[in-house]
Every structure is written in C-alpha cells, then in structure tokens.
Amino acid sequence: MSTMLNICLVKTSLPSYFPEKHDVWNKCSIGVKRVCDEVGVNFIEISEIPMNSNEAHKVLKKCKDNNADFILILHGGFTMGDVALTFAASNFRLGFWSVPEPKRTGDIQLNNFVSLNMSMSIAQKVRDVKKFPIKWFHCSPESNDFQKRLKLTLKSLIALKALSMSRIGLIGGLAMTFYNMEVSITELKSKLGIEVFNHDIHELTERMSQQPEDKVGSEVSKMLKVAPCDNVSNEQMELSSRAALSLRDITKENNYNALAVSDWPALQEISNMHPGAAFSWLEEIDEIPVASEGDVLGAVTQIIAKSLTGKVGYLLDMTEPDFETGKMLMWHGGGGPLYLANSDGVKWVNHPMIGRGTSEGPIYGTISDLVFKDGPVTVFRVSQNANSIFQMTSEVKGRNPNGFTGCRGWLEKFQMEDESITLKDLVSTVMYHGIEHHFILIPGNLKDELNELSAWSGMNRLEQKHMKNYVL
C-alpha cells in the first residue's frame, strides 16, 4: 500500500452543455494538479466522462483500480442525477465541484451550479453525510478559495492516511491506575487502521544494559552540546543516553511511527532512572513522537500533529488554571522536544518529583527544562477511544513565575470554533466531556485542519460547555 495520497479527478457533463468550448476541463485539470504538486499528492485524471449510471460504475471501478483516496467530481456542465447517485452511494471520500458560468447573459453555457445543488441533495438521501461527508466547491480553479479549500482537504486526508498505516510501539503498558487512558487496540485498528504492538519493559532495560560504551558516551556528548546539565550526575546522563539509543533501535527495527512508554515506576525500580531526557532527545533529533505514561491515544494525537506540521508536539497536562488572571499553565515533567524553548534555552535537570521525599531526594534524572516562547498554539487530543477530538487555539504568553520545572508555558486567549472561551468554560468543557489529562501542544493555528480531519474520520468534535453553578 502506497503512502502517497491518490486523488482522482472525474469530469461529468451532458453533451448539450459546453465545458470544452470554455476550456473548463483543461483549466480545472491544471488547477487541481498544481495543488496536488504543492501538497505532495498523486494526481490521476480519469479520461472517461460518465453520463449515466452504467458509465459511472465503470469510472468508479477505474478509481478503485487506481487506489483512489479521494474522488473529485467536476460538474463541468449539467450532470444527470444517476451519476451523482452512483458516486454518492459508494464508500469513497468525495468532493463535488462546479465552476462559475463563463458569461451571465444569453443562453446558459454550463448550468453546473444547479447540477451541484442537485448532486448534494441526492447525496443526502443515499449516504449519512455527517458520518461520510461530501465536500462541495463552487469556484474557479485559479481562485484562492479553491486552492485553500482543496489544500485543507488533502492535508487532512494525508494525515488520516498516515494514521491508517501507523505502527505504535507500546513499551511497558499504561501507567498504573491511569484508567482514563485505556483504549481498545482492536477498535483503534478498526476505526483508524492503527496497529499497536506491546513490548515488555524488560526488553527496554535489557537493551539499555547492552549498549556499547562508546555509543553511550558519544550520545551524551551530543546531548551536552545542545543543553547544559544542572546538577545531573554523569551516571544519570549515561542512563538517559542508553534509553535514547535503545528506544531508537526499537523504533527503527519495528518501523514504528510513534512510541508510548511507561516511564514510571518500573524504570526507577529496575534501572534507577527516568527516561524524560531520552524522550526529549528522540523527539528533537529523530523526530520520533514519544507519549509518556503509556498513553496510546497521546501517541495517535502526536502522529496527527507531525503529519500536519512536520513537527513533534508537546505532550502536556493542563496543570494550573489561574481563574483570577484567566491563564492556564500547560506543563509536564516528562519529555518534550526542545525547539519551542524561549531565549533562556534548555537545561538537563533531575526529575523534580521522582525520588522526592526519600533520603536521597529527587535523583532520578534526567528531563529537559524549558519555557515556551510566546506565540500562537493549538492544543488538541484524540479522545474517547478515538471517537472524539478536542481542540482549542490559544497563545503562549510569558509571565512570572514561569511555572514548574519541566516543559511549560502559560496560555491565554482561548478559542474554540473561532469563538472566545473563558478559562472557566474551558475547564468546564474538559471536565464535562471527561477528556483524558494529556494534551498535545503544537505551534500555529490548526483549527481548520483538525475540523476537516474530524469530519473525514467520523470523529465527533467536542463542543464547549459553559460553566454553571449547577451540575451540568
């Protein structure tokens, strides 16, 4: 199965209308191919022009033979309803497209918007368009509107195809008592095509013990060139190196797209370490998403983030809502990539909590310590057994004090569906829907991409719930 997305352009029109006369076929083909080339999608133009159901079925078979991931039906001129019916009754992801009339006086030349209207209406009768949507377009191929909307669709479908071919390595299972993050592996496979493979934590620790000393030392040197240590022992840095090397090997050998790793308590009991720095290192250098605490849906969310942006996101908790100022501290004491650090940079530090309260103190290193630079971000999560998706946009805004040791930043100016939402309403939304306590933060505004993705995947978009004094 090819990793590249395949889009088929199907041209339709009755012979009593004139798309060829007005160069509709050629201009539209060029316009679609241009967008496909920009996004990195394989463009396939079907030469046949179906005019009835029988011909439409033949074209459908041709699309299937070409492994079409998306079929764009171009109403070049008026198209009979049985063509639309045939395509709409299939299980293909579809777009219906018409272009503006070449002139608006005299005899009508295309009459294709009426046909588009009819086709969308017919589609409502033969498929559940909420579960299996059809995207409509009425714009010229040269227009910014067409290019923007088609790019949005293709980027989202690329992410979904990436998910359908993804392999996640689950190492050590789910963190103890994190029942809210339990997920059905079989349902995940059925719904999104994702495969999850289990590894015992002892496989990781055995690999760590067998890493060659020269490789361990070389990796530590590379880590120290990127960030200085703050009171972290050589032993802990070497353990971080061993964990990074071992996780890298597991990922490469099994062709994994992401990892979900139980980073406590077994690793402290077996190896006297925490792998947070190893997670950060792999995410920054190798661009391997690593979800801590065995969070499989966190890894799924990370795969989406990487597909849409090319970057690994930050797995964080909503840690401290400051209702007085309307700001939320996003933080995690595990791993996270390094690229979003502000001008203060990054340090390798001991994990602030593990080992705390013992006579030795917090000695189980190492994690990255950084504060996010200011700017727009998207925070989202695939939730509820991959049946739903939560998302919001916000802004990182530095403040003092700058938050707890680890990866962190204060967020403000929250929005859901282009509407401002107060911090109290945001918290109410999270609590009402029972959203798991890990979220992925990625720079930029991905609202439209995630809305498009949720529509094509059938995932429900979780809506905001206003905070009330009474129970919701």
Predicted local distance difference test score (pLDDT) of residue 421: 96
**Same fold yes or no, 6-164 and 168-461:** no
Average pLDDT over residues 98-110: 94
Is the CB of residue 74 less than 8 Å from the CB of residue 43? no
Strand partners, 265: none
**What's the average model confidence in pLDDT over 332-353?**
91
Averaged pLDDT for residues 420-429: 96
Structural contact between residues 411 and 327, judged by C-beta atoms closer than 8 angstroms: yes
> For residue 359, is pLDDT > 70?
no
In order of 291, 385, 387, the CA distances from 257 in angstroms are: 12, 19, 21
- Average pLDDT in the 322-343 region? 94
- Calculate the CA dihedral of residues 344, 414, 464, 189 and round it to 10 degrees: -40
Domain ranges of the chain: 6-164, 168-461
Paired strand residues for 317:
331
Distance (Å, whole) CA 364 – CA 157: 42
> pLDDT tens across 206-256, in order?
999 999 999 999 999 999 999 999 888 999 999 999 999 999 999 999 999
| pLDDT at residue number 418 | 86
3-state secondary structure of 308: helix
Domain 168-461 belongs in CATH node 3.40.275.10: yes
- pLDDT at residue 469 is higher than 90: no
- Cβ atoms of 321 and 423 closer than 8 Å: yes
Which residue would you say has higher pLDDT here, 427 or 361?
A: 427
Quick one: average pLDDT of 398-425?
Answer: 93
pLDDT at 2 over 70: no
**Residues 37/29, Cβ–Cβ less than 8 Å:** no
Q: What is the mean pLDDT of the chain?
A: 94
Count CA atoms within 13 Å of residue 102 on its CB side. Answer: 15
What is the pLDDT averaged over residues 314-341?
A: 95
**CATH architecture, range 6-164:** 3-Layer(aba) Sandwich (3.40)
Cβ 381 vs Cβ 367: under 8 Å: no
